[in-house]
Structure 1
Amino acid sequence: MGERAAAARGWAVLSAVVPALVLAATACGGGGGGGRSPAAPSPGSAGRPAEAAGPPVPTAERLEEAALRDGARIGGPGGTYEIGVPLLEGPSEDFLEYRADRAVCQPLVSLARGATGEDPAAEVNREAVLGEGIGQRQVSVQLRSYGSGGAARVLAALREAGTACAGGFVEERGVAEARYRSVEPLEAPDLGDEAVAYRLRIEDVKDRELVLTEYLTVVRSGATTLSFRLEAFSLDDPGGVPRELVAAQWDAFTRAGAGPGA
């Protein structure tokens, strides 16, 4: 499913567990990776239309070969993530109702088919999960291929959104609204032709005093984007998309022949 589809589950979990956290506190007395700036593509990609002169657009089958293996375990300083395949491969009707109140901000909400005007030709999804319950962290991983320069336009749209929507915006979810307080650019991974990374601060849909922190990293290689959205089901800042997870997906992508020089 699209990367924002999991958010509904996260907000539901948060709404259920926050009262318990507050009671417990009362009883007790109470980046995304090293590399170049997200503001510019890599030197090797400057001035060249990588997609126009590159290989054919990867098919869904090719992206499936390049995706992280179902059941794989990827560890790092923060713990071990287990890779799984989402039950739903496509965005649900409810998910497609998730819209930014300003069109320029929509790429920060989702890049899935039907969510923006730039539809991918093919898309493959994975979920990386760490922990359970209130302490759970989940990273939605998408590999998407585009034709006719679409992937480069997606990165350009993300950069525009990061600037235009830095002060926040509203995500409309049918009968509810989620308010983004801020969109902060981070140092992006030094991978592919270009990459961007952001920290997103989002208010709970029921209690605006409760704020979650999410992270979004997107890497472009030719006609393909690799997207990582980290969601934490607690009020703690999860500290960015794990570098080990990004590196593992990039390695799988290049080993499958879907990356540079494919």
Structure 2
Amino acid sequence: MSRVVAAASFVAVLGLTAACGGGADGKGADKPAADSGSSASGEGKGRGEGGAEGAQDKGAPALTAAQLEKALLSGDDVKGLMFEKIPEKDYPKPEEIPDAGPCDPLVRMVTFSTEPEAEARVAAGGMDAKFTALSSVALFAHEQSDAEKILGDVREALDDCEKFEAADTGYSGIEAKPAPKAGDESVAYALTGESDGESGAIAFTVVRSGSTVLTFYTANMQGDDATEVPKAVVDAQLAKLEKTAG
């Protein structure tokens, strides 16, 4: 296994450990679920300024597994990074991830998973030449109504989830960030992971393009808290996806 794949898989496994180890703290756990229509309408913190036309199209079908494979970033698609596909066996199966209450949508993002479960999913990790920064992307094929619900659930989790933790690994400092203008809608946030006295920031951007959900995360392997998902990665992946989807 290459260092790129190993590093990306490691972050996903940390997310699974947090989910399975128990301990998800919510703020407002008794809050009723938000209506999926209003969640996708653009209201809520972390909402991007995606095009409204795509959000009005309720009939976009899920892409096929072959289309996702073709659309996934690879090689030197992004200058300064080398992307490699992460084998599906190296990240958690959806059924292995127990429900984490108000934090569940955020746990799903870090474990390359969604709820509802995707019809197909692929993921890749990209490293710079010095192996100091990791950027990963996962693509999930859904019917458009499910894709819209997933973005809404992530926004709600940012309001309701304070932290999720395991015996030796904790995630806290969950904070919504300004979302990029990307796809039909987007949400961005950051959190801090801590284990064995070491901590580091992980930045996330989640985008919906038609019926496809894209999850991006970036972790600075040197522990620097100044971490954000590179715009070049988001733009390159969206362009490749849209070209493939037609």
Amino acid at match of 1:179: G
The equivalent residue for 2:187 is 196
1:110 counterpart SS class: helix
Q: Is 1:181–2:172 an aligned residue pair?
A: yes
CA distance in 2, matches of 1:71, 1:145: 22
Query: What is the rounded CA distance, in whole Å, between the counterparts of 1:244 and 1:123 in structure 2?
Result: 22
Alpha-carbon distance between aligned partners in 1 of 2:199 and 2:111, rounded to the nearest angstrom: 28
Per the TM alignment, residue 49 of structure 1 is displaced from its structure 2 partner at its CA by 4.5
**In 2: Cα distance, 1:37 partner to 1:81 partner:** 32
CA distance, structure 2, for counterparts of residue 148 and residue 9 of structure 1? 28
**2:157 corresponding residue in structure 1:** 161
The equivalent of 2:63 in structure 1 is 58
Which of 124, 127, 152 matches 2:125?
Answer: 127
Shift in CA distance, 226/91, structure 1 to aligned 2, threshold 3 Å: same
1:171 equivalent in alignment to 2:177 = no
Distance, in Å, in 1 between the alignment partners of 2:112 and 2:223 is: 30
Secondary structure, counterpart of 1:118 in structure 2: coil
Letter aligned with residue 65 of structure 2: A
- Provide TM-score, normalisation by structure 2: 0.73
Query: Do the aligned residues in 1 keep the contact of 2:55 with 2:184 (CA within 8 Å)?
Result: no
**Aligned-pair identity (%):** 28
For 1:28, the equivalent position in structure 2 comes to none
Query: Counterpart of 1:147?
Result: 143
In 2, the alpha carbon distance for the partners of 1:37 and 1:128 equals 30
Structure 1 pair 61–142 and aligned structure 2 pair: CA distance change class (3 A): same
Amino acid at match of 2:67: R
CA contact (8 A) 2:62 2:144 kept: no
Distance 2:85 2:112 in 1: 21
Distance 2:92 2:192 in 1: 24
**CA deviation map 1:108-165 (0-9, x unaligned):** 1224899554101111111111245xx5221221111112611101100100111112
- Asked if residue 83 in structure 1 is aligned to residue 89 in structure 2, the reply is no
Rounded to whole Å, the distance in 2 between the matches of 1:213 and 1:222 is 29
* Structure 1 consecutive aligned stretches of length 4 or more whose deviation exceeds 6 Å: 8-11
Q: Tell me, yes or no, if the aligned pair for 1:99 and 1:109 is still in contact at 8 Å.
A: no
TM-score normalised by the chain length of structure 1: 0.69
1:240 is displaced (CA, Å) by: 0.3
Tell me how far 1:195 sits from its aligned partner.
0.1
Larger Rg: 1
CA distance change for structure 1 residues 124 and 47 in 2, over 3 Å: closer, same or farther?
closer
**2:203 alignment counterpart:** 215
Shift of 1:186: 1.1
Shift of residue 199, structure 1, vs aligned partner: 1.1
Aligned length: 214
Judge conservation of contact 1:136–1:232 (CA < 8 Å) in 2. Answer: yes
Deviation at 1:239, TM superposition (A): 2.4
Q: What residue number does 2:105 align with?
A: 107
Q: C-alpha separation between the residues in 2 aligned to 1:10 and 1:105?
A: 15
Q: Which residue of 1 aligns with 2:133?
A: 137
> How much is the aligned-residue C-alpha RMSD, in angstroms?
3.3
Equivalent residue number for residue 76 of structure 2: 72
